[in-house]
Structure formats: structure tokens, C-alpha cells
Chain A
Amino acid sequence: MEKVLIKDRQSFKYSLKKKISSSRFLIFMIIPAIIYYAVFCYAPMYGVLLSFTYYTYDGGITGSILNNWVGFDNFVFIFKFPAFKQAVLNTLLIGSLKIIIAFLGAVTVALLINELRMRFFKKFVQITVTFPHFLSWVVVASLFLLLFDRTGVISHLIVAMGGKELKVFSDGKQFIGLLLASDVWKEAGWGSIIYIATMAGISTDLYEAADIDGASRLQKIWHITLPGIKSTAILLLIMSVGGVLSAGFDQIYNMTSQLNNRLVINSVQIIDTLIYSSTIASESLNEGVTTAIGLFKSLVGFVLVIVTDRIAKLCGERGII
């Protein structure tokens, strides 16, 4: 046993040398990546230890770890902290609504475009509806704020059509509606592309057979197209579940930072904006506490990914890991 191991080791050494020399160029190429991931992705994981400390400026990371170790106090604190609980609830609400609506929006748009038979118009629609994806939230947020402003055109339109005046900026629920609407406006077109590609991959034999049976177009959509994209849809939907705790910092930051919007801010305060606003932009929470919040978010996100992956595999779909 022992001998075999030593022998193995020698041959391993030999093959290692050979392997390294034969792939020198590739190893040389990967070194920047190793440094990059070590510094920007793994080094911050050391900083996660901050969540067990009370961070002080003069201590820095190491000093705080050595001198201000508080154990699980920060975690005990955040689970009693109402703003954190509220932020988690808001994040789950906004995040899951966004997933559902983005999914429905993308599939609907894909179905509509797929059924369209005017080639030129189809091209026009596709170019138009995918465009907003490439705008930053800075632009889209100011655009929506302008449109839905009290003096904005949408409010006037709704009142003119006999509707009730919108209270987008005073009613949290309506503001979440605005978040969802702007999300769909920006992303539905782009999200549809992958479904359109999937639909294009459905065998035409199926449609021809259905034609012979005299199926209507709606029947064909229901019985052929939708089942054809089912596995893609499930896969995409399951994958987005992992991101449910990132309910869109970019969007919410830009939508709320331009307003003196205390009324609404409570209902759209998500985990990421809580971390930013209470530790980077103010001193209201210690770094230790917000690192704990960030760690909570990372861990839950990670668990969600694993769980959804298992579910996907149980459902007979391909997993993502």
C-alpha cells in the first residue's frame, strides 16, 4: 500500500512536471484570472469575519477582529431589528413579484412576436422592444419619474380618462407597481429573445401535423408552442429564484434617490439598499451589523440556488450546477 503510494507520487510528480511544461502558455494565461478572483472575490470573504465584530475606524479589519470580537451579537441583533425584518419582507415581495411578472411578460411577448408573420414589422418590433434593456437605470428611472410625476403626462392621461389620480409617490403599493411596470418595460422585450429562439427550435412537423388535424392557431399555441418552451421556462424560472434576494438595487436606488420620498422608501427598502444607506451613506449601523446582513443574504441566496437546483433535478430537468 505504502509503496504503491510512493510510486504513485513519483509518477504524479513526473506527470505534473510534464503537464505544467506542456501547458505553460495556458497556465500563464490563467494567472491574471487567479489573481483577480483571489483579490476581488475571495479576499472579501475574509472580510466576512467583520460580521462577528464591532468595527472601528482605528482598528480596521484586523484590529476589529482582534480587539472587538462580539461573537454572534450582530446576528442576534439583526433578527430583532425591525428595519431588517421589514427589508427582508420587502425584498421577498418585490423580488418574487418581479420574477413572476418578468417571466409572464417575456413569455407573452415571445408568443406574440413568434406568431407574427410580417417580417419587416417583426424586425421593427424586436429592435424596439429590446432597446430599453441597454439603457441604465439612471435613465429609465428619471424617465418614469418624469412620466408619472404629478405634472407628468401619464397622470393627466389617467385623470382625463376618468380614472382616479395616481398616488404613485405617496402610496407604497402603487410605487411597487411602478417598479414592476418599469421593470417589465425595460426587460420584457429582451427576456423574450431566449423564448423566441426556443420556439424557433420546435419541430415544424408538429405544426404540420396539427394543420392536417385542423387545429386553430390558439390550439397550436396551447398544445405545441407552450409545451415546447416548458423546459426552458422552468429552467429560467428556477434559476432566477436564486436571485430573489437581489430585488434590484440599481432600480430602487435610482427611483428613490431623486425624491424626498420618505413615505415610499419604507415600503421599497430592500436588503441591499438597507446595507448601503445605513453603513455607506450614514453611520446608523455599524459595519459589523451590515456585514452580518450581507452574509445572511449571501447564505440564503446560496441555499436557494442549491435547493432550486435539487428541485429542478427532481422534476427531471437539467440542474444548473
Chain B
Amino acid sequence: MRKHILLFGTLGLAISAFSLTGCGKKGKSDTYDKDGNLIINLRNLYFSDYTGGGEYLKRLEKKFQVSLTFENYQDENWQAQVTSQIKGGDLPDVFHSNVTNYNFVNTYKKWAKENVTKALPEDLSKWPHLKHVLDNTTNIDALKVNGRLYGIPIAKNTSDFSIKFSQFTYLYRRDWAKKWGVYQENDEYTWPQFEALLDKFVQNLDVNKNQYALGDVEWGFPSITNFYKDVPHCYAYDSVQDKYVCNYTTDEYISGLMASKEFSDKGRYYPSQNTLNTGDMRKEFIQGRIGVFYENISYANYWAIREGIKDRFKGNITTEDLDDCTAIMKVRGPDGKYAIEGIDNWYSMTLFDKKISDTKLEKVLDILDWLLDEEGTKLAVYGIEGYDYLEDPVTHEIELIPESWYDSNGNPIDKKNGANYVRYLVTLGNDTLSINPSTDWHISNYLDDWEAEMKEAYANNELRIFKERDEVMWLDTSLKSLYSETMRDGANTAAMQYTYGAIDLDTFKASFGYPWGDVLSEINSALGK
């Protein structure tokens, strides 16, 4: 073997070089562009139609002497992109990650502990507006690792934190209901009326044209179970035994599932829910092939759906007709109550690369804080004073300058306001809806009315909000973090298979063997049950 010294030497060198450089990289130094501006790169899901540049962003950049570069994550495999960037060690300075209770422990917390992401400064009083938003975020303590927050949860709404339920509900074709004589006053449907409506739709719709009565958004299937269950996903609380049990095998869930199957057997359900790509069901609804559609009707989504339908009719549709195509349906379940999934007012976070300097982090916080205050909000919402709007020095009333908002045909000008996009790092912009001149008030009021009505129903004990208990939702145990996601996916798969008749109820129940038992007993012992 002696004669192979050269070869072994090379091998050894390669291996040792590999092992030495395998050590973690130290911080990266701040870089400045040629004008001395600090370069910060941002990557976010919401930058998809914005790549940077523009007068508004320049103002912001000039004010803070920074140079911002934008990149967006593709919708389809957003979290995979984030994770593989982290694996590859080439993170943008500021990035956007999905943080749910399913990946909280093994993703968010792991990154925080293993020095991938950077904690916010302990004392946030330098940034009062940001602090205000964070302090008012629901369940913020759940996100703290060793008492520190490792990112900014992106708020859906900063003005009203009392909303604890989501906007996941049914839209329906009121015009069809009216045409076929199953319309109920004020879009209120009891369970039998709901079933009757669907059956009427089934009768009148043409399967050969791919028309179906009921369709759920891809992640929402089977929405019928919502009216039966107490918990959206895995861990239900059994008050009799005082411990956590598998939600999918509770009597409530099973009866919901059987109802779903009945709906499917009676031809009410869209038949191949499982072949859909993200956004497909929305397209089906826009194309007029779905009578009732379960969807997250946030302002942006609802607006997009209506725009889609407008497009389909090439603009030749009156607002009343459009309302009739996209009415919100208020369905009471078999127990006589509305049912809506509960939710926190955020579901994703803006995170910071551990390697960035404190200066850079503070700079970003400065920018975000300023964008949340009055002056910054004006830049983000209205634009530049004297060009986009005029402000009355005494009354502070805002007057828009029409030329910069509408073209000669009176159509609104599509502004790519960079300041607004940067603001998305903290809030989704719903907090500025009320002052945004481009807000469609018709939609906004309609959604507000629905929300007010649901709140009232909640006060009258007519709304059931189903949500996992916080103590188990954010519980940090090893088996739970390892299996929760696969358990949920497996359960959804089984539910789908059962609904479409691919498996029977016994097989469905049998699919909740290992690791459910281990995970649940771990949870119960961790919580002292």
C-alpha cells in the first residue's frame, strides 16, 4: 500500500479540508453600495408582483440611507425554499417563514436555538409602533424562546385584536339559489335548508360541464366536518377523562366525516378534490362551475375572486349581479350554530439571518417602526405629498391629487409602492384599509358586516369557534414536534379517502395507530393529565 501515498494524501487532504471548513461560518460584514447606503436584502412571499425600485422606495431608502433589494418566494413550495436556503447557508438578511404550531418546535425554535435566526433586541421601547403591534399580537408569548422573540409575526390586522375567528366560510351563488327557488332570507341557512339547497343545485347542474354543488378550497377539505368537530386538527380535549385524545376518532369528528361521505355519495361534493393545485378551486368558482365554495375570504381574497368574475364577464356585470354571484352564506350546523375555525391574527413571521450585524437589524427595525407611524403609513398608503396627495395643515385632511391616481380614462393607476411592500414585513395591510383610497368600500363593508354579525352570534352563543387549546397547540415535546405534521397529513389523507369511498370506516379508524398513542401519552404526561 505504500506506493499509494500520493493518492491517500490527496484523499486525506480533501477530507480534512472538508471537515475543517464544515465549522459554522462567522458573521457576514455589512456591505454598502457605492453611495454609502447599507445594502439589505429582503425576501418575502408578498413581493411577488414587486421587484424593487420606484419613487416611493427611493424616498424610504434615502431617508434611512439603505439600499433594499427584493426577492420573492414562490407560493407553491414557499417553506421548502426557506428551509433549503437555511440548509444551504445563503439566507437573505430578512426573510419570511411560515410558523405554525406544527413547525414551531422543530423549525422556528430549532433555528433560534442553533443560531440560524437572530433575536429581536430585548428592549423594544426604541421602536414604539412596532412594540405596540407586537404587544397586541395574540399568543405572542408562545413564540418566545428563552424569553426572546426571534422575529416579527406578521399581523393580519393591527386595529382590532378581538377577532379570534378566521374568515374561512362559504361563498355561494345566490342567483342560482333564487333561480331554483331555494333562496333563504338574509343568506341564513339551517342545516336542512343547506342540504336542500345543495340537492337542488345537484339537480340543476350539468356534470358533463364539470359543474358541481359544493367545493372546498384545497386545504379546507372536508369543510362539512367543521360543523361537528371542536378542534381543527390533531389534539382534542376530552373533558370526561381530562386528557387529550385523537381528534379524528372522536364521535363528533366521525359523525362529521360520515356526513361528508354522505355529501359525496349524494353527488354534492366536487368529485376529485384531491387532484387540485393551489388556487384551482377558486378558479372553478370564478368560472361558474361551483355553487357553494368554502374559502378564506380575507379582503384580498374576496376582492380577487370578484375581480376574476368581473374579468370573466369582461366587465359587463352589475355590482348587484356580482354580489349575487359571491354572497356569503351563513350556515348553521346540525346543532343550530354557526361554526368557524379559530385562529391567531398571524400565521407567518419575518425572520432575520443570525449573521447580520446589530446595526443592520436595528436599521430594519427603524424602517419598520417608521412605516408603522403616521408619516410612514402615509408614504406607504398615499404616496408622496404634493405628488400623490395634499394635506391640509390645520385639519390634516388628506386630499388626493387625481392625476396621480387615475389615468385619462378614469381607471385607477396601478402603483407599485415599495414602501407599502416593506410594510408587509409587519402587517398585511388590513390596518390601512380604512384609510386606503383604493379600498373597495363595498367589499370592505360587506365583510365587516359579516364579521359584526358573527361576533354578535358569538355573544349570543350561536357561534362555535373551534380551535386547539393553547396549552397543547404550542406545547414543545419531541415526539409531538416530530410527528404532528405527518399525523395531520395522514389524517387528512385518510379523511379524504373515506369521503370518496376508497376506504371504509374501520380502515379509517385503524389508521390512527402508531405514533398517535405515543404522542398523545407524551402530551398528556407533559401537561400533567
Q: Do A and B come from one complex?
A: yes
Asked whether any CB of chain B lies closer than 8 Å to the CB of A221, the reply is no
User: Which residue of the partner chain, among B7, B15, B272, contacts A170 with CB atoms under 8 Å?
Assistant: B272
Please tell me if A35 contacts chain B, counting CB pairs below 8 Å.
Answer: yes
Knowing A38-B14, A61-B19, say if A281 contacts B275 (CB, 8 Å): no
Contact A46 B486 (CB under 8 A): no
- Of the candidates B87, B115, B274, the one whose C-beta lies within 8 Å of that of A262 is B274
Contacts A280-B84, A282-B80; A60 near B486 (Cβ below 8 A): no
Give the chain A neighbours of B272 by CB distance below 8 A: 150, 167, 169-170
Beta-carbon contact of A283 and B15 below 8 Å: no
* A38-B11, A260-B278, A280-B83 known; A63 vs B23 contact (CB < 8 Å): yes
Instruction: Knowing A284-B106, A284-B482 are in contact, say whether A58-B24 is a contact too (CB < 8 A).
Output: yes
Closest chain A residue, CB of each to CB of B21: A60
Contacts of B485 in A (CB 8 A): 282, 284
> What distance in Å separates the Cβ of A94 from its nearest Cβ neighbour in chain B?
18
Q: Which residues of B contact A261 (CB under 8 A)?
A: 274-275
A42 at the interface (CB under 8 A from B): yes
Q: Does B114 contact A (CB under 8 A)?
A: yes
Given the known inter-chain contacts A16-B3, A262-B274, please indicate yes or no for A46 contacting B87, CB distance below 8 A.
no
B253 within 8 A of A: no
A39, B14: Cβ atoms closer than 8 Å: yes
Q: Hey, which chain A residues are within 8 Å of B502, CB to CB?
A: 167, 170-171, 263
Residue A227, interface by CB 8 Å: no
Q: Residue A283 contacts which of B10, B14, B107, B210 (CB distance < 8 angstroms)?
A: B107
Distance (Å) between the CB of A97 and the closest chain B CB? Answer: 21
* Minimum distance in angstroms from B45 CB to a CB of chain A: 16
User: A58: which B residues are within 8 A, CB to CB?
Assistant: 24, 114-115
Chain A residue nearest to B108 in the complex (CB): A283
By beta carbon, the residue of chain B nearest A36 is B14
Stretch at the interface among B357-365, B374-382, B395-403, B490-498: B490-498
Q: How many B residues touch A, CB cutoff 8 Å?
A: 49
A73 in contact (CB, < 8 A): no
Q: How far is the CA of A284 from the CA of B80 in the complex (A)?
A: 11
Residues from 133 to 189 in A contacting B, C-beta threshold 8 Å: 149-151, 167, 169-171
Within 8 A of A (CB), among B7-26: 7, 10-11, 13-15, 18-20, 22-24
- Assembled-state Cα–Cα distance A83/B24 (Å): 31
A1-39, CB < 8 A from B:
12, 16, 34-35, 38-39
Residue A124 at the chain B interface, CB threshold 8 Å: no
CA A150 to CA B500, docked complex, whole Å: 15
Verify if B334 is at the interface (C-beta below 8 Å from A): no
Known: A169-B274, A171-B502, A281-B77. A60 touches B22 (CB 8 A): yes
**Chain B neighbourhood of A47, CB < 8 A:** 18
- Chain A residues within 8 Å of chain B by Cβ, number: 44
Whether A266 is near chain B, meaning CB under 8 Å from some CB there, is yes
> Per-position contact with B for A46-79: 1 when CB-CB < 8 Å, else 0?
1100000000111111110000000000000000
Q: A35-B10, A169-B275 are in contact. Are A46 and B18 (CB under 8 A)?
A: yes
- For residue A43, CB closer than 8 A to chain B, the reply is yes
Chain A, residue nearest B493 (CB): A262
CA distance A245 to B500 in the complex (A): 32
Do A260 and B218 touch across chains, with their CB atoms under 8 A apart?
yes
Interface-central residue, A149, A260, A283, by most chain B CB under 10 Å: A283
**Residues B19 and A46 in contact, CB atoms below 8 Å apart:** yes
Tell me if A214 is interfacial: C-beta within 8 Å of chain B.
Answer: no
- Residues of B near A83 (CB, < 8 A) are 486
Q: Chain A contacts of B79 at CB under 8 A?
A: 281-282
* B38 lies within 8 A of chain A by Cβ: no
CB B472 to nearest CB in A, in angstroms, measures 19
Known interface pairs A38-B10, A63-B24, A282-B83; A262-B496 also in contact (CB < 8 Å):
yes
Do residues B500 and A170 form an inter-chain contact, with CB atoms below 8 A?
yes
Residues of A within 8 A of B510 (CB): none
Check A43–B24 contact: CB distance below 8 A. no
Decide if B489 touches A62 in the complex (CB within 8 Å): no
Q: Is the CB of B277 within 8 A of A258?
A: yes
| Cβ-based interface call for B435 (8 A) | no
Chain B residues contacting A43 (CB-CB under 8 Å) are 14-15, 18
Among B3, B10, B485: residue with most chain A CB under 10 A? B10
Q: Is the CB of B22 within 8 A of A62?
A: yes
Residues of A within 8 A of B497 (CB): 170, 263
B277–A62 CB distance below 8 A: no
| Mask: chain B, 62-91; 1 = CB below 8 Å from A; 0 = not | 000000000000000101100110110000
**Shortest beta-carbon distance from A68 to chain B in Å:** 11
| Smallest beta-carbon distance B345→chain A, Å | 25
A201 within 8 A of B: no
Verify if B130 is at the interface (C-beta below 8 Å from A).
Answer: no
- Residue B192 is within 8 A (CB to CB) of chain A in the complex: no
**A237 CB, nearest partner CB in chain B, Å:** 34
* Minimum CB–CB distance for A309 against chain B, Å: 25
Q: Which residues of B contact A258 (CB under 8 A)?
A: 277
A82 interface hit (Cβ, 8 Å):
yes
Alpha-carbon distance A149/B18, docked complex (angstroms): 47
Assess whether A259 is interfacial by the CB under 8 Å rule.
Answer: yes
Asked if B515 is at the interface (CB within 8 A of a chain A CB), the reply is yes
List chain A residues, Cβ under 8 A from B154.
none
CA distance A283 to B484 in the complex (A): 12
B276 at the interface (CB under 8 A from A): yes
Report whether B482 and A263 are in contact in the complex, using a CB–CB cutoff of 8 Å. Answer: no
User: What's the least CB distance linking B311 to chain A, in Å?
Assistant: 21
| Cα of A280 to Cα of B84 in the assembled complex, Å | 6
A257 CB within 8 Å of chain B: yes
B60 in contact (CB, < 8 A): no
Among residues of B, the one whose C-beta sits closest to the C-beta of A30 is B7
Please determine whether A257 and B77 come into contact, CB atoms closer than 8 angstroms. yes
Question: Can you give 30 A-B contacts (C-beta < 8 A)?
Answer: A12-B3, A35-B10, A38-B13, A38-B14, A42-B11, A43-B15, A43-B18, A57-B24, A57-B86, A58-B24, A58-B115, A59-B24, A62-B22, A63-B22, A169-B275, A170-B500, A259-B275, A260-B274, A260-B277, A260-B278, A263-B493, A280-B80, A280-B87, A281-B77, A281-B83, A282-B79, A282-B485, A283-B103, A283-B107, A284-B482
| Interchain residue pairs A-B with the least CB separation, the first 6 | A281-B80, A61-B22, A169-B275, A57-B114, A38-B14, A60-B22
Known: A38-B13, A63-B24, A262-B493. 19 other contacts (CB 8 A): A35-B10, A38-B15, A39-B14, A39-B18, A43-B18, A57-B114, A167-B272, A167-B502, A259-B277, A260-B278, A261-B274, A262-B492, A262-B496, A280-B84, A281-B77, A282-B79, A283-B106, A283-B107, A284-B482
